[in-house]
Structure 1
Amino acid sequence: MLSEEILSWVTAAIGGDARVATVTGLREQANPWLVRFAPAARVEAAVLRLGDPTDPEHRQRFATEVAALRLAGDHGLPAARLIATDLDGAAAGVPAVLTTVLPGHSRIPPVASPERLRGLGATAAALQSVPLTPRTALPRRTRSIADVDFAAQRREKGTTALLAEAEDRLSRLPVPEGPTVFVHGDLWFGNTLWSGDRCTGLVDWDCAGAGPPGIDLGSARFDAALMFGLPAAEQVLEGWQRAANRRADQVAYWDVVAALGTLADMAFCVPALHDQGRTDLDAGILGQRRDAFLGNALRRLDATGLSGR
């Protein structure tokens, strides 16, 4: 499944007499890859992430991933450690990043305990403890998955009255002032690893950057509501506030921002959820839960006086 050039780069990065034993796709049986080595190797396994050498955006995302992993390591955050990087593909033939393997798994259970939900909030809070000034590899972020223009896609593919209202109201409001911190930029259960109810790590850092803490908190709350229903979002908030030892700011605003990171038809995210074990979820259920979360957030915006009307 991987070229000899890539495998040679991997074994050289591991060193010694490393020999690849197996390669397994971690997302829908494809990239990134779990590479296991023969027993004599100095490490048992590593995670290999590959990019497209013809796509400049892939290079930027890889540069962001590497910068984020380095920063996470510097601050003891739950992230893999870098083994080797080849951002221009000069040695591997394609852009490549090789990291350590974190314990745990990303499978999403059909029911989440309060401890797991609060743990997701606490993980988001750990990131907001790291002040960060925007830089080339970790740019300014104002929403999750910042390189995807969901608003443009809705204009092309169609929207709903609720999404259109939310987008219009948000456009009339300034981005809330506050600290600029390290953000993951795509914080959902599929990008977290768990051992029981303990979060053992965050993966897929290519949307990371510098931005308001509400980006990750809103994303985590929204995903919890999609996976488990609206009350789950409050457990995430409780975990965040406990870990941060303060009340979160502008929660309703960032909830709206998170919900607007979708298309009218939620079928676009179903394959990723099924890959994580949630085959009970379909576009209809997800759409209903998205609308319940977004409607609730808009009502809370009205209550705070930040209606955007």
Structure 2
Amino acid sequence: MMNEYDKFERLVQKLDPGNKLIRAWKLKGGISAQVTGLEILQPSGRIIKMIVRQHGDNDLKRNPNIAADEHKLLGILKAAGLPVPMPYYIEESCEIFSKPCILIEFIGGKSEFTPSNLNDHILQLAINLAKIHRVDCANLSLSFLPKLENTYVEMLNNKNKVVLDETLNLSLIRDLLKSSFPLPSMNKEVILHGDYWPGNILWKEDKLVSIIDWEDSGLGDPLADLANSQLEISYHFGMQAMDHFTNQYKSMMPEVNFTNLPFWQLFAALRLSTFPEWGLEKSKENSWRKRHKSFVRQAINQIRLN
């Protein structure tokens, strides 16, 4: 029976039979995937690093083709000039590992939660979200991507899945959304990251170098991504930073109709409300809860004004 090292060596040799594995090490990959770094000696004598991504059971249950889909999407995004890891190989036979996995480029960088220049940091986040939404989908074969609107509908209808925290008025939010859905279509469908937040962005020397973890991606209204990012940015950097991010994004995307943004903000508030699961320090959790309530209040006020 092969040990872990042998399995990874066999994987890199599927890419090139002359490859030799020098070392393998576990990387922090969140809860959704198992991520392993590999250092490889190529036949040319060059030493390079790669990453293996093995998706978690929940993601595989939701989409058994998730590895193939992420591999395909990364190729499309890389060709469009986005800062994403290059996909090298997909292992779907399950001969080596019990689950499919993808072999992708290793990009040296780290998530940044205390940037030295917050305004520039926020600007780069906005620029790159706009870049994702500007990928021209007209001639791309994207039928493998789910419609993210369907995911949101499931979230509204599945009472058991979302434990509704009434201190955050989640029942009110859900009922308001159910009575308003489906929203009138005002924007063209774009590629969505699905989870564009500071933890999925890598930085090096204050420059955004990679957007990672595309397992929640799909097609839909750009406002769905924007609203998620707004709430995440308010959590990590404050409401002022969130407003700066929104203004920057709006200035870059004049073709987007923002009328329905408050509704997508309420979806984001419903989705990003499981504070007990995040293991936050009590003071941080209290601060984020306040920002969540303020975010929801603004969205509801805006809906009433419209």
TM-score bracket for this pair, using the shorter chain length: 0.7 to 0.9
Displacement of 1:229: 1.6
**1:296 alignment partner in structure 2:** 298
Using CA pairs under 8 Å that are at least 6 residues apart, name the structure with larger relative contact order, 1 or 2: 1
1:50 to 51, 54, 72: 54
Once the two structures are superposed, what CA deviation does each residue of 1:267-301 show, in whole Å capped at 9, x if it has no partner? 21237xxxxxxx79633222222111111111122
Deviations 1:228-264 (A, max 9, x none): 221221111122123335565133222222111034x
**Aligned with residue 4 of structure 1, among 6, 27, 50:** 6
Residue 130 in structure 1 maps to residue 140 in structure 2:
no
Aligned to 1:140: 147
Describe the superposition over 1:199-256 as per-residue Cα deviations: whole angstroms up to 9, x where unpaired: 2111111111111111111111111001122122111112212333556513322222
Report if aligned partners of 1:145, 1:186 keep a CA contact under 8 Å in 2.
Answer: no
Indicate how the Cα distance of structure 1 residues 77 and 17 shifts in structure 2: closer, same or farther if over 3 A, else same. Answer: closer
Distance in 2, Cα, partners of 1:35 & 1:280: 37
Question: For residues 199 and 144 of structure 1, what CA distance do their matches in structure 2 show?
Answer: 29
The TM-score with structure 2 as length reference comes to 0.83
SS at match of 2:145: coil
Over residues 98-153 of structure 1, what are the superposed CA-to-partner deviations in whole Å (9 max), with x where a residue is unaligned?
A: 00022421132277601111221221111111244895521111288898779635
Provide the residue aligned with 1:276 in structure 2.
Answer: none
Q: 1:183–1:211: 8 Å Cα contact kept in structure 2?
A: yes
Q: Do 2:156 and 2:178's aligned partners in 1 also have CA atoms closer than 8 Å?
A: no
2:19 touches 2:40 (CA, 8 Å); kept in 1? no
Contact 1:119–1:239, Cα closer than 8 Å, also in 2: no
Unaligned runs of 5+ in 1: 272-278
| Aligned position for 2:203 | 194
Determine helix, strand or coil for the equivalent of 2:209.
strand
The equivalent residue for 1:116 is 121
Q: Is the 8 A contact 2:21 2:38 kept in 1?
A: no
In structure 2, relative to structure 1, the CA distance for the partners of 1:131 and 1:212 (3 Å cut) is farther
Rate the CA distance shift 1:267–1:13 in 2: closer, same or farther, 3 A. Answer: same
1:48, distance to aligned residue in structure 2 (A):
0.6
Ranges in structure 2 where 5+ consecutive residues have no aligned partner: none
What is the rounded CA distance, in whole Å, between the counterparts of 1:145 and 1:38 in structure 2? 45
Aligned mate of 1:184, from 188, 193, 197: 193
Taking every aligned residue pair, what percent have the same amino acid on both sides? 18
RMSD: 3.2
2:183 maps to which residue? Answer: 175
The answer to which of 28-37 and 96-105 deviates more is 28-37
Letter of the 2:103 counterpart: L
- Is the contact between residue 88 and residue 95 of structure 1 (CA under 8 Å) also seen in structure 2? yes
Match of 1:242 in 2: 251
Shift of 1:155: 5.5
Instruction: Report the 3-state secondary structure (helix = DSSP H, G, I; strand = E; otherwise coil) of the residue aligned with 2:64.
Output: helix
TM score, norm. by length of structure 1: 0.82
The answer to whether the Cα contact below 8 Å between 1:267 and 1:282 also exists between their aligned partners in 2 is no
1:236 aligned counterpart, secondary structure:
helix
Matched residue, 1:262: 272
Moved over 3 A (4+): 38-43, 51-58, 90-93, 131-136, 143-151, 153-161, 245-248, 279-282
CA shift at 1:190, angstroms?
Answer: 0.6
1:233 corresponds to: 242
Write the distance in 2 (CA, Å) between the matches of 1:183 and 1:228. 22
Q: Which residue of 2 aligns with 1:284?
A: 286
